[in-house]
């Protein structure tokens, strides 16, 4: 190894060690170090020139506020177009702002901070002593933190919501629909930023992240139309000169508990319809994707502020299942919509039914695709990998349709959807054909950073999900199952 390479390595070690020791001396977290490996297509010198204000080869700089935050870049020894970037941050706030995949521009557009209040009644929000820290399953990087709602803060939210309901329900439904329409427009303007946040915090592919925000936009459009169709029947009375009619009334406070796999869309499905019907909403997002909840609330409140909507029409609370129990046990909340596992749904249903409340439950499934000989495999198998819950495949099925559907239904959102394909029921006459085509399809699937359009599948949400996946594979083998496409937990620094 020549002297230049040795000097580069020594300098790199110093760059890593100096901030480590410096942070220890200042009693700060020494572990906030992020590394990126970037392969540049095209002229590398042009890239350096275009980014010279941010990336400076083998350089260390100080931050103006006095807190040390340095970074460095060096060219790979093996490839001239591959660069490794090291970023050092002296606080979680700096770490969240600098170097993350979705970047500070997106955080600014969505109104996100390194530390966010997790309890909000609209224009007002409340700090907390306890916070949920959100780390991306994509690269393990710290995204930000969200405050946990206390019982006292929850009571404050409910009281503000009750007051808001008395005003919101009297607003004509077409006017409520107009406010929802404006929220849909705001989502269109923020689709790119919110879609990337969904992908980065939850781990689904970028196209799925964009698709989830599009579902929010679509439900806004649907709700706008619904706001002018809240019809009631009219009928003759047996009494002379009398006529009868029915009029639907809003319920009041609607509690929404959403899951990590659809961190924004499920809330919108419930809340936009509830809002045009005259209800007010209290939302508890998943504690595994709390930043998405804050972002949605921030966008909505800008619309509400412009329309002078009463404080408390759409509220946000955060925390684990204990905070969710504030809603499920509260007699002041007549309707609970909860999305999650079947086990969770049974608990929620029993609790709410015990107080004669109402529930909307969207729970897990054990979805099957039935493949008949007439199925078109080019359509069925890809779809089965993504989302299809039930597909019947007969001997006459066109395999060009069957195969795409089957594969797509299973691997979409890394198989973490309630509608994910879990079983294939295949007619014996096409069994071998389907199996061989599936093997070929799975070998073409690329797993990696979901923000890259080259990859089809991103990471599971957390290490608990990985362990559950591994345990399922163990059970398959124990029960006599055969794995036809070798899988398992991916190894390497980029997968930790």
In the chain (496 residues long), the average pLDDT of successive 10-residue segments reads 62 53 43 44 53 40 34 38 45 44 70 94 95 89 93 98 98 97 98 94 90 97 96 91 91 96 96 98 97 97 97 98 96 96 94 97 81 65 46 59 70 73 81 83 80 79 82 86 80 65
Residues 6+ apart with CB under 8 A from 369: 380, 384, 388, 390, 391, 392, 393, 405, 406, 409, 421, 423, 424, 425
What 3-state class would DSSP assign to 193?
Answer: helix
Asked whether the CA dihedral 179, 182, 188, 189 is positive or negative, the reply is negative
Q: The tokens 């299973």 sit on which residue? A: 410
Q: What is the pLDDT of residue 216?
A: 98
pLDDT at position 84, please?
Answer: 44
pLDDT value for 5: 64
| pLDDT reported for residue 93 | 45
List the one residue out of 164, 179, 196 whose CA is nearest residue 302.
179
**Residues in Cβ contact with 64 at an 8 Å cutoff, skipping those fewer than 6 apart:** none
To which residue do tokens 């698709």 refer? 211
Active site residue 133: no
What was the pLDDT predicted at 379? 58
Q: Pick the catalytic residue: 39, 418, 471, 478?
A: 418
Catalytic residue among 201, 212, 311, 362: 362
Burial class of residue 47, CB neighbours in 10 A (0-12, 13-18, 19+): middle
Instruction: Provide the CB-side half-sphere exposure for 225 (13 A, CA).
Output: 5
pLDDT given for residue 286 in this prediction:
96
Q: What is the pLDDT of residue 154?
A: 98
Cα distances (angstroms) measured from residue 301 to each of 224, 296, 370: 18, 9, 46
Contact predicate 4/61, CB 8 Å: no
Active site residue 362: yes
What is the per-residue pLDDT for 9?
59
């Amino acid at each position: 190894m020549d002297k230049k390479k040795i000097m580069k390595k020594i300098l790199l070690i110093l760059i890593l060690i100096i901030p480590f020791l410096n942070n220890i001396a200042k009693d700060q977290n020494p572990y906030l170090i992020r590394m990126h490996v970037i392969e540049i297509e095209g002229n590398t010198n042009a890239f350096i020139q275009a980014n010279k204000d941010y990336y400076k080869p083998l350089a260390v700089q100080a931050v103006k506020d006095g807190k040390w935050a340095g970074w460095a870049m060096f060219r790979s020894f093996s490839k001239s177009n591959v660069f490794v970037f090291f970023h050092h941050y002296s606080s979680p706030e700096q770490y969240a702002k600098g170097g993350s995949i979705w970047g500070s521009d997106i955080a600014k557009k969505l109104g996100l901070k390194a530390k966010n209040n997790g309890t909000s009644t609209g224009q007002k929000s409340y700090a907390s002593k306890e916070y949920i820290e959100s780390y991306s399953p994509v690269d393990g990087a710290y995204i930000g933190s969200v405050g946990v709602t206390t019982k006292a803060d929850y009571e404050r939210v409910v009281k503000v919501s009750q007051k808001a309901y008395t005003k919101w329900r009297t607003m004509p439904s077409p006017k409520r629909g107009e406010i929802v329409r404006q929220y849909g427009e705001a989502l269109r303007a923020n689709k790119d930023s919110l879609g990337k946040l969904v992908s980065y915090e939850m781990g689904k592919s970028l196209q799925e992240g964009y698709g989830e925000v599009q579902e929010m936009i679509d439900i806004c459009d649907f709700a706008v139309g619904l706001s002018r169709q809240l019809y009631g029947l009219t009928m003759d009375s047996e009494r002379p000169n009398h006529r009868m009619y029915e009029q639907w009334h809003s319920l009041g406070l609607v509690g929404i508990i959403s899951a990590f796999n659809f961190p924004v869309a499920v809330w919108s499905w419930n809340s936009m319809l509830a809002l045009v019907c005259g209800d007010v909403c209290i939302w508890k997002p998943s504690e595994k994707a709390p930043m998405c909840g804050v972002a949605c609330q921030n966008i909505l409140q800008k619309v509400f502020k412009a329309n002078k909507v009463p404080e408390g029409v759409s509220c946000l609370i955060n925390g684990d299942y204990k905070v969710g129990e504030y809603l499920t046990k509260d007699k002041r909340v007549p309707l609970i919509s909860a999305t999650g596992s079947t086990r969770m749904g049974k608990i929620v249903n029993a609790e709410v039914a015990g107080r004669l409340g109402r529930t909307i439950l969207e729970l897990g499934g054990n979805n099957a695709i039935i493949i008949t000989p007439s199925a078109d495999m080019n359509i069925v198998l890809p779809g089965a990998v993504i989302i299809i819950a039930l597909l019947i495949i007969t001997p006459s099925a066109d395999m060009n349709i069957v195969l795409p559907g089957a594969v797509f239904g299973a691997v979409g959102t890394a198989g973490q959807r309630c509608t994910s394909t879990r079983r294939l029921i295949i007619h014996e006459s096409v069994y071998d054909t389907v199996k061989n085509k599936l093997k070929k399809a799975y070998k073409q699937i690329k797993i990696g950073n979901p923000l890259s359009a080259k990859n089809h599948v991103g990471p599971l949400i957390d290490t608990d999900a990985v362990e559950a996946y591994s345990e399922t594979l163990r059970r398959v083998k124990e029960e006599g199952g055969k794995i036809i496409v070798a899988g398992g937990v991916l190894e390497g620094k980029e997968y930790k």
